[in-house]
Amino acid sequence: MNESALETVCLGWFAEQGWEIYHGPDIAPDGSNPQRASYHDVFLTPVLNACLQKINPHLPTDVFEQVISRITRAESPDLIASNKAFHHWLLEGVPVQYRRDEELIHDHALLVDFSQPQNNRFMVVNQMTISGTKQPRRPDIICFINGLPLAVVELKSPIDDKVDIWDAYHQLQTYKDEIRDLFISNEALIVSDGYLARVGSLTATEERFMPWKTINNENDKPLLEWQLETMVRGFFNRELLLDYIRYFVLFENNDERLIKKIAGYHQFHAVREAVQATIVASTGKQLVLHSNIQPGSKKAGVVWHTQGSGKSISMCCYVGKLLQQPEMGNPTIVVVTDRNDLDGQLYGTFCQAQELLKQMPEQADDRETLRDLLATRDAGGIIFTTVQKFSPEEGENAHPILNGRSNIVVISDEAHRSQYGMKANLDRKTGVYKYGYAKHMRDALPNASFLGFTGTPVSAEDRDTRAVFGDYVSIYDIQDAVDDGATVPIHYESRLAKLDLNHEELAALSDQVEELIEDDELDQREKTKGEWSRLEKLVGAKPRLQQIAADLISHFEKRNTVMDGKAMIVAMSREICVHLYDEIIALRPEWHDDDPEKGQIKIVMTGTASDKAMLQPHIYNKRTKKRLESRFKNVNDPLKLVIVRDMWLTGFDAPCCHTMYIDKPMRGHNLMQAIARVNRVFKDKPGGLVVDYIGIANELKLALKTYTDANGKGDATVNAEEALAIMLEKLDIIHGMFAKTATSAGFDYTGFEDHAQKLLVPVANYVLGLEDGKKRFLDNVLAITKAWSLCCTLDAAQPYKLEIAFLSAVKAAISKFTSVDKKISQAEKNSALKQILDNAVIANGVDDIFTLAGLDKPNIGLLSDEFLQEVRDMPYRNLAVELLEKLINDGIQSRTKNNVVQEKKYSERLQAVLIKYNNRAIETAQVIEELIQMAKDFQSAMERDDALGLNPDEIAFYDALAENESAVRELGDEVLKKLAIEVTLKLRQSTTVDWQVRESVRARLRILVRQTLRRYKYPPDKTPGAVELILKQAEVISNHWTM
């Protein structure tokens, strides 16, 4: 199935979903059913006008011209700013004004009817030509709602292994530059080759294009699928798409850059399920969808979505959608976290989502403010607070009722912390029973409904959480997230063996402080004495911190040689943070700088003016902490290491952070939340790494047991030893390729450590001489380098460092300078090159295969007999074949890409030779001779082109006419030249936009060409074939004519 066939099948899937199907040329300005005034227009204005009148029957018809005029011109020179403005109009309508009985009326014209999907018109148009800044562009499929282009689908052939979906992605980026107006109203971009399909926003990078794996709900996942079909049937379901556009699109300012975020399928379905569950739990309404939610129970359930999968965005979308549900009667939303910094982070996310929420959230700074906000609230509002503010004041036996309304919804972030307990515990010192915060929240808001969001599962023993929130309403686990590319796997490496300390004593103390390492307020931890103090004294001992500092620096520097990125260090107290900082900068003084805007290492922690003097240099105000956040998130900023105690361990998102060094006792949900800081997707990052300096292996096992007991799939962490095992397995395969066998003499590349440059060419030559050697070698070395990036800091991996760098250099040489392989991604190239350069195996990198072979790289049009003889005499015969193939293929691509006859002639000839070579049908020496002769013939053809005195377009038509040998004999070169010039001129004057797909225009051009050929007495029996070949040639080169 080629790209055209895939497009046809895709249109059929759209038709089955109820979309109207139109062919671009038919609705073009000069088409049979014109819907555009010019080829610059991207809106279907007649359709838009009719839909506006249908959706807004109360408005006078003359206002619609105002509306169309306003929305079809950009609001800003910045595309994403214009897109945000358009999205606002899409949700709220376009402001209009008109007079009625001398009164000036202000109103809004709705562009889409979200409440009644059947009132909208859904159209799909394929091959719609749009005039661009450089040349006409023709996107494969554009999806219109009411004449507005809201989605673009770009396809690639599923059978062409030279292209993939990322070629489609890059094509869309080109379209954004050249046909910018098409994207002002865009809500989604889709790239697909049929098998794979990804959807992303207007600002999404490649790694943020995600699959859409569901159709009607999160359980409706086809197992064996064409992902494009699932995308069309699921994402482009008309009713679901309207819901998506309305509630699942957000804009955020990220370091003063506006970005657009759209929900993944797991977020979309989870929010829809949670909204329905809340309605059932809050109102008592019966819905079949949620049989596990008891009507009127006030328990709306738990959404378990693994860390890093976009929980904050899900919460925003949930609140935005819930607020608009008429059954809820304008509810009040209370968002509860258990730490001040988390409250601030989530509050900041919600503040940026005002477009969706239609209001500004409020934050309760203290207990009194929270009571005022809740007690005086009659309806609506979004209130942020920490759970600790729900506590009785001194002298109160129980928390007073603040608001008895039933349409209050409490959303808890991380809904399983110990504070949410309902049980009473006896304080032995005071003799007073104390209750968990869940009891106080229930007392304060007796009729509220509760929904929990969590990144880790609720344990089977955690009855308190289930008593407050109920059962799961949506699960998206580690395996789901890694499979979808929403997160990367986390690897684990223990460095305890590097430290000289008593591990038994450390483990015993760690067990004693179980209750002390749960989630208390930050300032409470500093007051803790007893066992925690003893443990802190042991962990913070100067000799130990000196060892950690030295090992950590070495480890981080090694890790950054294979994967540039950042790291967090988790210490157990603020004092230890400072001591460890001092030990690190003692070894790397250049990393330190007093200026928060400079330096490679910082501490981020809470503090006040009354703290010890040693802490003061590292205590920053809120604004400076925000700047440090921005610096750490910016991969190009020199700030590489941040030491924390509690801050940034939950809710903090820095995708370029690839390593976390843990030197603090942690367990359970806290541990799982913390290590998830390194699981964010970022460029070519294959995984995150957790480095253990304190002994958390058992805690990870316990956390994983809770996870698997909850039926979660996928490992929380993968031991770095497993990556080492994979690397050694693949390396063994490589060694097998070079071993002597009954059919191969083998090749010994020992000595590569000192003679890499000398061995590179013969090793590459040997690989190319093996059956399927190139593919096997490239695939296995790619797997080796990926595994190496995850285990390169292990002692057991160090003996292989130089060999892997050498193999990477061979791979880079073969990949870069051969031309027939499926493309290597830019990320893979960057990763390989970085390892080569950082390991200094080949000091200057892999510059040029010709140089390595001892040849000057020629221009194929200037080949000399001396050069060809050098190639003929090369000792590395397989490499000579690759060099000639590369040379000829580059020439074909650069000189004949717009010449149908020459491109076909030389491509087929090259392919025929290579098939014989790959099938071992002829000797390598004969292949070299055939390729050399082909290179000479190619050179002669170019010399002929120059001698003809024609421009490239005229030469292309000359070759089409000269394909008939009898025409050449009867007419001669001079007549054919004149004929080629006239054909070129007439076609250039007669072709119009989209002529290639308009049969009426093609028929007219056939007559024109036939008449011209007849006038020059072109052989009549050859005329039909010549006419079709000329039209085929015109299709290739006419795009730049019709600008």
CATH code of the domain containing 521 = 3.40.50.300
pLDDT at 522 over 80: no
Q: Do 229 and 257 fall into the same domain?
A: yes
Domain boundaries, position 897: 860-948
Collect all residues with Cβ–Cβ distance below 8 Å to 698 and sequence separation of at least 6. Answer: none
Higher pLDDT, 914 or 716: 914
Eight-class DSSP state of 346: H
CB 94 within 8 A of CB 139: no
Query: pTM for this structure?
Result: 0.75
What are the phi and psi torsion angles at 611 (to 5°)? -70, 165
Q: How far apart are CA 417 and CA 387, in angstroms?
A: 10
Collect all residues with Cβ–Cβ distance below 8 Å to 951 and sequence separation of at least 6. Answer: none
CATH of the domain at 221: 3.90.1570.50
Using pLDDT thresholds of 50, 70 and 90, give the confidence band for residue 811.
Answer: confident
From 262, 292, 319, the end of a domain falls on 262
What are the phi and psi torsion angles at 499 (to 5°)? -110, 140
Domain presence at residue 715: no
From 844, 868, 887, the end of a domain falls on 844
pLDDT at 624 over 60: yes
pLDDT at 91 over 90: yes
Q: Do 465 and 437 fall into the same domain?
A: yes
pLDDT at 508: 55
pLDDT at 245: 98
Percent of the residues in the chain that have a pLDDT greater than 70, as a whole number: 85
Q: Do 276 and 258 fall into the same domain?
A: no
Instruction: Report the run of H or E that residue 644 belongs to, with start and end.
Output: strand 641-644
Q: How far apart are CA 1019 and CA 417, in angstroms?
A: 88
pLDDT at 532 over 90: no
Domain presence at residue 901: yes
Using pLDDT thresholds of 50, 70 and 90, give the confidence band for residue 514.
Answer: very low
Of residues 245, 410, 235, 390, the one with CA closest to residue 319 = 410
For residues 519, 522, 528, 531, the Cα torsion angle rounded to the nearest 10 degrees is 50
Residue 603's DSSP bridge partners are: 643
Q: Do 238 and 292 fall into the same domain?
A: no
Task: Give me the residue label for tokens 């090159």.
Answer: 833
Q: How far apart are CA 790 and CA 788, in angstroms?
A: 5
The tokens of 111 are what? 């562009």
Higher pLDDT, 131 or 919: 131
pLDDT at 393: 85
pLDDT at 868 over 90: no
Pairing of strands 566-571, 141-145: unpaired
pLDDT at 798 over 50: yes
Domain presence at residue 716: no
Q: Do 429 and 446 fall into the same domain?
A: yes
Q: Do 569 and 470 fall into the same domain?
A: no
Q: Which residue type sits at 905?
A: K
Collect all residues with Cβ–Cβ distance below 8 Å to 894 and sequence separation of at least 6. Answer: none
Give the max Cα distance, the chain.
116
pLDDT at 439: 82
Half-sphere exposure of 163 (CA within 13 A, CB side): 19
Domain presence at residue 254: yes
pLDDT at 216: 87
Q: How far apart are CA 459 and CA 711, in angstroms?
A: 11
Query: Which range (307-321, 499-513, 623-637, 675-689) has the least confidence?
Result: 499-513
CA angle 747, 752, 754 (to 5 degrees): 145
Q: Do 633 and 514 fall into the same domain?
A: yes
pLDDT at 625: 92
Domain presence at residue 96: yes
Q: Do 248 and 285 fall into the same domain?
A: no
Mean pLDDT across 644-660: 90
Mean pLDDT across 485-507: 74
Number of domains in the chain: 6
pLDDT at 809: 84
pLDDT tens digits for range 552-607: 999 999 888 888 899 999 999 999 999 999 999 999 999 999 999 999 999 999 99
Higher pLDDT, 1038 or 844: 1038
pLDDT tens digits for range 412-439: 987 655 445 545 454 545 444 455 677 8
Domain presence at residue 850: no
pLDDT at 754: 80
pLDDT at 783 over 60: yes
Mean pLDDT across 715-719: 65
Query: Which range (406-420, 440-454, 950-964) has the least confidence?
Result: 406-420
Q: Do 194 and 269 fall into the same domain?
A: no
Q: Do 316 and 388 fall into the same domain?
A: yes
Mean pLDDT across 998-1022: 86
Q: Which residue type sits at 91?
A: L
Pairing of strands 472-476, 20-23: unpaired
pLDDT at 860 over 90: no
pLDDT at 861 over 60: no
Q: How far apart are CA 301 and CA 292, in angstroms?
A: 9
SS3 of residue 919 by DSSP: coil
pLDDT at 173 over 60: yes
Eight-class DSSP state of 210: B
Q: How far apart are CA 495 and CA 509, in angstroms?
A: 19
Q: Do 13 and 54 fall into the same domain?
A: yes
pLDDT at 992: 75
pLDDT at 822: 42
From 262, 288, 312, the end of a domain falls on 262
pLDDT at 280: 94
pLDDT at 943: 81
Using pLDDT thresholds of 50, 70 and 90, give the confidence band for residue 527.
Answer: very low
pLDDT at 243: 98
Mean pLDDT of the chain: 84
Q: How far apart are CA 322 and CA 312, in angstroms?
A: 15
pLDDT at 928: 78
Domain presence at residue 1042: no
Using pLDDT thresholds of 50, 70 and 90, give the confidence band for residue 904.
Answer: confident
Is 775 exposed, middle or buried, given 0-12, 13-18 or 19+ CB atoms closer than 10 A? Answer: exposed
Three-state DSSP string of 597-627: CCCCEEEECCCCCCCCCCCHHHCCCHHHHHH
**What Rg, from alpha-carbon coordinates, does the chain have?**
34
pLDDT at 415: 61
pLDDT at 530: 58
Of residues 501, 513, 515, 645, the one with CA closest to residue 573 = 645
pLDDT at 915 over 50: yes
Of residues 793, 730, 790, 786, the one with CA closest to residue 490 = 790
pLDDT at 108: 95
CB 488 within 8 A of CB 687: yes
Q: Which residue type sits at 86?
A: F
Using pLDDT thresholds of 50, 70 and 90, give the confidence band for residue 546.
Answer: very high
3-state helix, strand, coil in the chain (%, to 5): 50, 15, 35
Of residues 357, 415, 355, 361, the one with CA closest to residue 383 = 361
Of residues 727, 806, 752, 786, the one with CA closest to residue 562 = 786
Using pLDDT thresholds of 50, 70 and 90, give the confidence band for residue 999.
Answer: confident
pLDDT tens digits for range 270-300: 999 999 999 999 998 876 555 678 889 999 9
Domain presence at residue 539: yes
Q: Do 60 and 96 fall into the same domain?
A: yes
pLDDT tens digits for range 320-377: 999 999 999 999 999 998 777 777 788 989 999 988 999 999 999 999 999 999 998 9
Mean pLDDT across 139-150: 98
